[in-house]
Chain A
Amino acid sequence: MTPANHREKAERIERALHVLTDADWEMRIEAAMLAGTHWANFALHRLGLSADNEDITHTSMCTVNAIRKYKLAEQQLLEQLDEIEEMRPVYVRGDADGGPEAGRRALALLRAIGVRARELA
């Protein structure tokens, strides 16, 4: 996808976040994963590190070499995305205590990712 389309998708998801409450932590985490991944692709494409047809879908599913390369340029952003990904089995697909707090943390991470990505616009 082009950077413009990644940005459009990320911002559509961000605009819908107001519907979610603390009781919707699964979707706060998933929204952060989806929008955060679009922002990560936006950033990597803008930096010339990945082509429009080389989108990542999950940091955990990149080849080791690719993620090493991307982290040389955007370590903090990708580590923030990793943190969101790590919440998914525990709070989205699992029933661990602390879901509302995890949902709020995911949104904070998404905000940080969005700030960094927009610096590259």
Chain B
Amino acid sequence: MKIASHAEKIRRLLELRGRLQPLEHFELWYWTTLTTGTNIWNATLHAAGLTSEERVFSTIPGVHVVPQPDGTFRRELRGPGDVSHVGWPAIAGTMPAHVTALEAALHALEEHRDPCLRGDRRPTQAIVDECEQAFARALAVYERAMQHKEAS
């Protein structure tokens, strides 16, 4: 998907994130954070030239939903484009340092996904703090990447 579309989603998701209470609304606060992070990952990969920003939408690795001229959508086998989660699939090749740092931050965020959303782990302030710190690192990388892209 185009960087501009990722950026528009990131802007709206950040605004929503500010309206959710991290502990009271943990599940939606966390998922909003995670979804923002995935958009950050895809936009940063596109900006680095590591994946295509073609307007096709991610599903499972290797399969994208492709808009058709008649307004319908079709699943197709495609090469590297948007991913649905960091590491799913892994990005081939050598990644620049800022992308490696972003990947680490997003993996730190993802650590809490299944235990807290699909398991019995109860959210705590410590978990919220870990997520906040990981997300802040991810957002900083994204903002620098976008500034660098605009300047170049």
Residue numbers in A under 8 Å from B26 (CB-CB): 12
Q: Is there a chain B Cβ closer than 8 Å to A34's Cβ?
A: yes
Supposing A16-B24, A26-B13, A30-B31 touch, asked if A94 and B117 sit within 8 A by C-beta, the answer is: no
Assembly CA distance A94 to B84 (angstroms) = 11
Supposing A23-B12, A96-B67 touch, asked if A16 and B27 sit within 8 A by C-beta, the answer is: yes
| Residue from A27, A57, A90 in contact with B35 in the complex, judged by beta carbons closer than 8 Å | A27
Asked whether A89 lies within 8 Å of B58 as measured between CB atoms, the reply is yes
Residue numbers in B under 8 Å from A34 (CB-CB): 27, 31, 117
Q: Is there a chain A Cβ closer than 8 Å to B16's Cβ?
A: yes
Asked whether A30 lies within 8 Å of B35 as measured between CB atoms, the reply is yes
Supposing A1-B119, A1-B120, A23-B12 touch, asked if A93 and B82 sit within 8 A by C-beta, the answer is: yes
Residue numbers in B under 8 Å from A24 (CB-CB): 12, 16
A11-45 Cβ-contact flags toward B at 8 Å (1 or 0): 01100110110011011001100100000000000
Residue numbers in A under 8 Å from B13 (CB-CB): 26-27
Task: Tell me, rounded to whole Å, the shortest Cβ–Cβ distance linking A59 to chain B.
Answer: 13
Asked whether A95 lies within 8 Å of B31 as measured between CB atoms, the reply is no
Q: Which residue of chain B is the closest to A1 with respect to CB atoms?
A: B120
Asked whether B35 lies within 8 Å of A16 as measured between CB atoms, the reply is no
Residue numbers in B under 8 Å from A16 (CB-CB): 20, 24-25, 27-28
Q: What total of chain B residues lie within 8 Å of the partner, measured CB to CB? A: 34
Residue numbers in B under 8 Å from A94 (CB-CB): 1, 57, 65, 67
| Residue from B28, B38, B60, B64 in contact with A19 in the complex, judged by beta carbons closer than 8 Å | B28
**Cross-chain pair count, CB within 8 angstroms:** 79
Q: Which residue of chain B is the closest to A28 with respect to CB atoms?
A: B28
Asked whether A90 lies within 8 Å of B120 as measured between CB atoms, the reply is no
Q: Is there a chain A Cβ closer than 8 Å to B148's Cβ?
A: no
B: residues with CB less than 8 A from A are: 1-2, 5, 8-9, 12-13, 16, 19-20, 24-28, 31-32, 35, 38, 55, 57-60, 64-65, 67, 73, 82, 84, 117-120
- Other 17 A-B pairs with CB < 8 A, given A1-B119, A24-B12, A96-B57: A1-B120, A9-B27, A13-B27, A13-B28, A16-B20, A16-B27, A17-B28, A19-B28, A26-B9, A26-B35, A27-B32, A30-B28, A34-B27, A89-B57, A93-B38, A93-B57, A94-B65
